[in-house]
Amino acid sequence: MATRRLLPILLLAAACTGTPDAPVASFTSEPFGSMPDGRTAQLFTLKNAAGAEMRVTDYGGIIVSLTMPDRTGTFADIVLGYDSLAQYQASSPYFGALIGRYGNRIGGAKFTLDGVEYPLTVNDGPNQLHGGLVGFDKVLWDAEPFADSLGAGLRLQYASPDGEEGYPGTLHVSVVYRLTDDHRVTIDYEAMTDKATVVNLTHHSYFNLAGPGHTILDHELWIDADSTTVVGAGLIPTGEIASVEGTPFDFRTPLPIGARIDDPDPVLQLGPGYDHNWVLNGGITPEPRTVARLSHPGSGRVMEIRTVEPGLQFYAGNFLDGTITGKGGIVYGRRTGLCLETQHFPDSPNHAHFPPTVLRPGETYRTRTEYVFKTDAAGA
């Protein structure tokens, strides 16, 4: 194991000391397909100086693939997705996408702000999910790749028109993805509006640290949360915030995801299985802190999540049912990918005691999430 790990360490050391032949972060781009209006979507390949690669398209800001090493230094693609733009356009359960204007659900697809009721488009029973019929996951963003001393990145911008999917105000959104040389994927979100509105942006990669096609039930998860937002029908919060103590939602000690996922707990069964918002300890913080850790004992891959957000939706891929064939012809069966979506709580615009999601003219919405990849190899 020591010999196999030597090369990446030497290369990384060379990069740090500025040796002339040191690998450096880089980017390339190629056409990925066409939008219905004729515009071309691009596929950007970002590489860090330590051998990891992330492919991102400006369609939906989707992370199409992401490779990370296991404990022997072997890279594998650890996110679910498709090979072609046409497949994403035809139907996708938000694989790898940027989510907005409002990540997660808004009950009854409406909210009232400053005395005005705003009806939203409906796309999940009577509710709105992930920004509506054409959310930020389905639009073409302006994209600008870059590489610098931290790694490679992609700056994405989108101007969401006043009234889009029912939301007030023109919203100017900017998202910066980075793949850093120390194997972090960082996401910085910013937004400004010209009318009072609500915003809750997130990212929807389906991770599988074992590599494509495996179950996620053997992954171990730790979440730094003493409570969750209880949901009722349609996974809409009831407003109650309940302790995880003595329930299958208690991940304060790392446990395999499969250990309790089919527990008869009635709130868990609404998923069915994990598809809930954890109320992260510490609330909203000025700087990102580590809120969750996912590890796969078989490969040794570990992913830590750091964020400034107060909530985390853990979705265990319960709705994947083997009807989707993804990259490389791999069929995505039930629970073969999981999402950990940093966010404000679902349906906050309809719950005054949840942390507010209102953005007013003159304010800047800013949030940051980092996915930090490591291995459990000694010294890693």
Q: How far is the CB of 242 from ligand GLA (least distance, A)?
A: 18
- CB closer to ligand GLA, 146 vs 319: 319
- CB closer to ligand GLA, 42 vs 313: 313
> Which residue's Cβ lies closest to ligand GLA?
93
Q: How far is the CB of 342 from ligand GLA (least distance, A)?
A: 12
Q: How far is the CB of 291 from ligand GLA (least distance, A)?
A: 17
Choice from 137, 165, 275, 370 touching ligand GLA (CB under 6 A): 275
Please state the three-class secondary structure of the chain as a single string: CHHHHHHHHHHHHHHHHCCCCCCCCEEEEEEEEECCCCCEEEEEEEECCCCCEEEEECECCCEEEEEEECCCCCEEECECCCCCHHHHHHCCCCCCEEECCECCEEHHHEEEECCEEEECCCCECCEEECCCCCCHHHCECEEEEEEECCEEEEEEEEEECCCHHHCCCCEEEEEEEEEECCCEEEEEEEEEECCCEECECEEECCECCCCCCCCCCCCEEEECEEEEEEECHHHCEEEEEEECCCCCCCCCCCEEHHHCCCCCCHHHHCCCCCEEEEEECCCCCCCCEEEEEEECCCCCEEEEEEECCCEEEEECCCCCCCCEECHHHCEECCCCCEEEEEECCCCHHHCCCCCCCEECCCCCEEEEEEEEEEECCCCC
Q: How far is the CB of 80 from ligand GLA (least distance, A)?
A: 11
Residues from 132 through 191 that contact ligand GLA (CB under 6 A): none
Report the catalytic residues: 204, 341
- CB closer to ligand GLA, 34 vs 123: 123
Residues from 43 through 62 that contact ligand GLA (CB under 6 A): none
Q: Residues 301-320: x/- map of binding to ligand GLA (CB under 6 A)? A: ------------x-x---x-
Residues from 74 through 133 that contact ligand GLA (CB under 6 A): 93-94, 129
The site for ligand GLA, by CB under 6 A, has a size of: 9
Q: How far is the CB of 18 from ligand GLA (least distance, A)?
A: 43
- CB closer to ligand GLA, 45 vs 318: 318
Choice from 109, 339, 359, 372 touching ligand GLA (CB under 6 A): 339
Q: How far is the CB of 9 from ligand GLA (least distance, A)?
A: 37
- CB closer to ligand GLA, 73 vs 212: 212
- CB closer to ligand GLA, 139 vs 231: 231
Q: How many residues comprise the chain?
A: 380
Task: For residues 131 and 364, give the distance between their C-alpha atoms in angstroms, rounded to a whole number.
Answer: 19
Query: What is the bridge-based pairing of β-strands 324-325 and 311-315?
Result: unpaired
Is 338 a residue that touches ligand GLA (CB under 6 A)?
A: no
Binding site residues, ligand GLA, CB under 6 A:
93-94, 129, 275, 313, 315, 319, 339, 341
